[in-house]
Each structure stands twice: as structure tokens, then as C-alpha cells.
């Protein structure tokens, strides 16, 4: 199967508009992890993403009649920008259907490159359905983001460049995975030329469509996908990429949101460039692989696939980075409400720095504090810290991996309500656009009293809400049926220990 792609990759027409990006030494990462780490800088492309390669190569293969008809794609980001620039370069009219939740910076970027933008739906699937409808009505040529031989061949030129830029042995190349176009092209070329080089895919834990397919032995469709790394938020690996990946990808590593945030910081410290979450995936996977395999003095390549970052997401990323680097522990600690207790708590920390401290008086017997503590040796030191506090008779609960605690509780530690009964707590995600919060509130109806509400948006296409409502146990099933009709993703958090400790009745 890959043999057919080799000629296509070698003949790919990408350099009329794309550049040969550098393979740069990452000196700080190399020093920290005792390996020679190199970054393939696809974030330096004219559209700040590798997507330009595949889009241009596909357009260059069209007949004159197809070019005259015009092209269309559904995309929320990098494919849209790559196709818009490629179409402009070739003088082809392009229409891009984007979800209404697409950040304005991306919409404006596509328009600035001369493409027509149509906003439709809250998510990619709705945009794609509308694009398919326009294909039928107008006769446009649809340009897939990944499930196409010419697109895969265009992306495969990334692997071709890596091979000629570093001719010495390479232990592994780490590739971010969304629909699979990039990793398919890279794997096809590298495994044909140098089969000893490992090709390792990296996916978010909550958007691991290739990982799921490899486990099942066939393409599998995820029920839901995470939204943080929106550039790889794909429910199912492409059919053509799967035909290559199932035989030529060595493994897939999955990483958490916190690990992605830490990788964004790593890329910045080595390059002074800010990668988007999908763009930093490969670095997060590389770090995890080195930690697992304990390898040293190997040549490792990570593809930094894009840098289309919304500026207002940086605050959230900074907030999560220390946990992702395993340099911060988030703890709930119970101390007696009497003089000298705080001093005893500080002594138990053994000169570790406090990064955050939240407390509100609740009762005269004991104080429940929410605290962030700086650590240096990851999970081992975290456990050591918990044991030290417990030895000082300070009961502690480790919340470092508790999503609700990190997303909401740390911003709203305000105490318990003495007059509250039958509170049920739910965490929501809903599309972010003008009026969406009002629509969310109005759709809840008026039967149940809202007892707590915390709303956060950090520049992503979706916002997060933590909500409490007074619902008697006998009515809980009916309440959840109402939430199902509202249609937003939700999780019940009534039994979450962070809620119980800091906010519960």
C-alpha cells in the first residue's frame, strides 16, 4: 500500500506555496530528557500549519474544468486557512463552511485569503453536512481535510523532509493525529525508506480515534471527542489513512490536557513560538515515551504541526501547565480552626512554595483549605507530601487529577450554604457564541431552583459551566431527562469530593 504513495509524495506539488520547514534542535528539551530532541517546525508555514501542503497538492491535481467550478471544504481552522491560500495561489474560487463557534480570528484569516466563508451549525459535523449539500446544489469540488490520496501525499512531504534533513539514525518520529492525513503520509514515506525508524502517533486522551481503531482492529467511531485540542478533534480516523496506519504506525500515545499545556510551554521555551494544543501534542507524547522507556542518547523528532492559537486561551494554558509538568500538587487539607494550626501546616510542607491558597471560614472546629504546592519530582514527591501532612495529623485529599477541582472549584471556594437542601451538581460544556449562555439558562426551565452557577470560557469554541440545582431524589430521573433534551454534554458531579469538601451543604 505505501509504495503507491511514495511516487505521489515525491511528485507532490507543495513548494509553489509551502516552505521546507527547518528541523531544529530543541536544546532545553534535549538537556532535560538526555536525548537529542529535534522539532519539525510546521508552525512556520505561511498559514502556521502543515495543512497547506495537502490542500495545495490536491488543488494542483484538479482538471481545468474542476478548477473552474470552484472548491469547497468544511473546516473550523487549519484546513480552511490552507485551502484558502492554496486556492488564491491557483486562482480558484473557494468556499469554506465553518461552524458558528469558530473563533473570529480564524474566520477573518480565511476571508483575508480570498475565500468565501459560510457559518453553519455548532460543530464540524453540521458544517460538513451543509458543505455536502452545497456540493450537490452548486457542483463544487469537495476538498477533504485528510481522507484523500493527494492530501495524504502532500502531508507526506513532511516525512520526506525529515529524512533528508537528518540522515543519521532516528529512534522515533512523533506525529499528532486527528483524521490521520499527516501520520499516514509520514508513515508511508519513512517506513518505505527507513523501516527501523519508529513512527508514533500522539492523541489527546479524549480524542483518540486512531488509538481506538488500533485496539479494535478496525476503524471505530468515538461517541464524543474532547474540545481542547480542536485541531485533532475527530471522531473517526479516515479510511485511507487507516489503510496505512494499521500496518505502519508503531504505536499511539495518549496525553492529558495538562500534559499538552506543559508541552506548549516546552515548545515556547525552546523556540519562543506558541504552538496550538494540537501542535504541541507530539512533544507531550515524546516526553511521555522517554519517561516510560527510560531511553538516553537517542535522536527523537517531534512534529510541531501548527501555531494557530487564540491569545485568550493562554491564561487557561498557563494555569494548567504546572500540573501538566508535575510541578504542582492540588490538595484539600483539613486543619483545626485554632491558633498555631497554619504554622504547623507550613512546617509540614518542608519549605515547599505555596502556589495557591483558598480558604473561607465554615465552622469553629476545623478549616478546609484548597492549596496548590510546588513540587519538583512529580508523582513520587506528591505522594511524599501527602504522607508528610498526614503524619502531622492533617487529613488531606489529593485533587491534582480532579478536573472539576481544577476547572471550577479553585475559582469559587466560598464556603458551604447552611440552608441548602437536595442540591445536585452538574458540569456542562456548550458551544460558545453570542447569546449561548442566555440560551443555556433559558432552556433549563423554571421548575428547579438553580443554587450554584460558575461559568468559564478561555477562548475555546466551547464554554464550561458548573451548576447546582435543588432537585429531590425522586425527581432526579425527570431532571436528567430535561437535561438530555437541552442537548449539551454534561456530567453529574454531586459525589465529587472537591464539591463535598468546599461547596456542598
Helices (H), 357-503: 378-391, 403-407, 436-443, 476-486, 497-502
Q: Is the pLDDT of residue 25 over 90?
A: yes
Which tens digit of pLDDT belongs to each residue from 406-445?
878 777 766 677 777 888 999 988 776 555 666 676 677 6
Annotated active-site residue 436? The verdict is no
| Predicted pLDDT of residue 474 | 92
% of the chain exceeding 90 in pLDDT: 53
State the pLDDT at residue 498: 86
381 against 438, higher pLDDT: 381
Mean pLDDT of 23-49: 97
Supply the pLDDT for residue 1.
57
Note the pLDDT tens digit of each residue in 54-113: 999 999 999 999 999 999 998 878 899 999 999 999 999 999 998 876 767 778 889 999
Q: What's the mean pLDDT in 182-186?
A: 97
Cα separation, 207 vs 212, in Å, equals 9
The whole-chain average pLDDT of the chain stands at: 87
Quick check: 305 pLDDT over 60? yes
Mean pLDDT of 480-490: 84
- Residue of 305, 436, 451, 463 marked active site: 305
- Out of 8, 13, 40, 51, which one is annotated catalytic? 51
Separation of alpha carbons 311 and 47, rounded Å = 16
- Per-residue pLDDT band for 363 (boundaries 50, 70, 90) equals low
Asked if residues 455 and 437 have their Cβ atoms less than 8 Å apart, the reply is: yes
Q: Is 89 a catalytic residue?
A: no
Angle at 282 between CA 280 and CA 286, to 5 degrees: 120
What pLDDT, in 10s, does the model give residues 227-283? 788 888 888 999 999 999 999 999 999 999 889 999 999 999 999 999 999 999 999
**Residue ranges of domains in the chain, CATH in brackets:** 2-39+169-321 (3.40.50.1100), 51-142 (3.40.50.1100), 326-401 (3.30.70.260), 419-502 (3.40.1020.10)
> Do residues 144 and 151 make contact, with C-beta atoms less than 8 angstroms apart?
yes
Label residue 38 left, alpha or beta by phi (over 0 means left) and psi (-120 to 50 means alpha): beta
Rounded average pLDDT over 202-215: 94
Q: Whole-prediction pTM value? A: 0.78
Buried b (16+ CB within 10 A) or exposed e, 271-291: bebbbbbbbbbbbbbbbbbbe
What is the pLDDT at residue 267? 97
Amino acid at each position: 500500500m505505501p509504495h503507491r504513495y511514495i511516487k505521489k509524495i515525491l511528485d507532490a506539488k507543495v513548494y509553489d506555496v509551502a516552505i521546507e520547514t527547518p528541523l531544529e534542535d530543541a536544546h532545553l528539551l534535549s538537556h532535560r530528557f538526555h536525548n537529542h530532541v529535534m522539532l519539525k517546525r510546521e508552525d512556520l508555514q505561511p498559514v502556521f500549519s502543515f495543512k497547506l501542503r495537502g490542500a495545495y497538492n490536491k488543488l494542483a491535481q484538479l482538471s481545468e474544468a474542476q478548477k473552474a467550478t470552484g472548491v469547497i471544504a468544511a473546516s473550523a481552522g487549519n484546513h480552511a486557512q490552507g485551502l484558502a491560500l492554496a486556492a488564491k495561489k491557483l486562482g480558484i474560487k473557494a468556499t469554506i463552511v465553518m461552524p458558528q463557534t469558530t473563533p473570529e480570528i480564524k474566520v477573518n484569516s480565511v476571508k483575508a485569503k480570498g475565500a468565501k466563508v459560510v457559518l453553519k451549525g455548532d460543530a464540524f459535523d453540521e458544517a460538513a453536512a451543509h458543505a455536502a449539500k452545497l456540493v450537490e446544489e452548486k457542483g463544487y469540488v469537495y476538498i477533504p481535510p485528510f481522507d484523500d490520496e493527494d492530501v495524504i501525499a502532500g502531508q507526506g512531504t513532511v516525512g520526506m523532509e525529515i529524512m533528508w534533513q537528518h540522515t543519521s539514525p532516528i529512534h522515533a518520529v512523533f506525529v499528532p493525529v486527528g483524521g490521520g492525513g499527516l501520520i499516514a503520509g509520514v508513515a508511508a514515506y519513512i517506513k518505505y525508506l527507513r523501516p527501523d525508524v519508529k513512527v508514533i502517533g500522539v492523541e489527546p486522551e479524549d480524542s483518540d480515534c486512531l488509538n481506538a481503531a488500533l485496539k479494535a482492529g478496525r476503524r471505530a467511531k468515538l461517541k464524543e471527542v474532547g474540545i481542547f485540542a480542536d485541531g485533532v478533534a475527530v471522531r473517526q480516523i479516515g479510511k485511507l489513512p487507516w489503510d496505512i496506519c494499521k500496518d505502519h504506525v508503531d504505536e499511539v500515545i495518549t496525553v492529558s490536557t495538562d500534559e499538552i499545556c506543559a508541552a506548549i510551554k516546552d515548545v515556547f521555551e525552546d523556540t519562543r513560538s506558541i504552538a496550538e494544543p494540537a501542535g504541541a501534542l507530539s512533544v507531550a507524547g515524546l516526553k511521555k515515551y522517554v519517561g516510560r522507556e527510560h531511553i538516553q542518547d537517542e535522536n527523537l523528532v517531534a512534529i510541531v504541526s501548527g501555531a494557530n492559537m487564540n491569545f485568550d486561551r493562554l491564561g487557561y494554558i498557563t494555569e494548567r501547565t504546572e500540573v501538566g509538568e508535575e510541578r504542582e500538587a492540588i490538595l484539600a487539607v483539613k486543619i483545626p480552626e485554632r491558633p498555631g494550626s497554619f504554622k504547623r501546616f507550613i512546617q509540614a510542607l518542608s519549605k515547599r512554595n505555596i502556589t495557591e491558597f483558598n480558604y473561607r471560614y465554615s465552622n469553629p472546629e476545623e478549616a478546609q483549605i484548597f492549596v496548590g504546592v510546588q513540587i519538583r519530582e512529580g508523582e513520587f514527591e506528591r505522594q511524599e507530601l501527602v504522607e508528610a501532612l498526614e503524619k502531622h495529623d492533617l487529613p488531606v485529599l489529593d485533587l491534582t487529577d480532579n478536573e472539576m477541582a481544577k476547572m471550577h472549584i479553585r475559582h469559587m471556594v466560598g464556603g458551604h450554604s447552611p440552608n441548602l437542601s437536595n442540591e445536585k451538581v452538574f458540569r456542562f460544556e456548550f458551544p460558545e457564541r453570542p447569546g449561548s449562555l442566555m440560551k443555556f439558562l433559558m432552556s433549563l426551565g423554571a421548575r428547579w431552583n438553580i443554587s450554584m452557577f460558575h461559568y468559564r470560557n478561555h477562548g475555546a469554541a466551547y464554554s464550561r459551566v458548573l451548576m447546582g440545582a435543588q432537585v429531590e431524589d425522586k425527581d432526579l430521573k425527570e431532571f436528567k431527562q430535561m437535561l438530555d433534551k437541552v442537548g449539551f454534554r454534561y456530567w453529574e458531579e454531586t459525589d465529587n469530593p472537591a464539591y463535598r469538601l468546599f461547596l456542598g451543604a
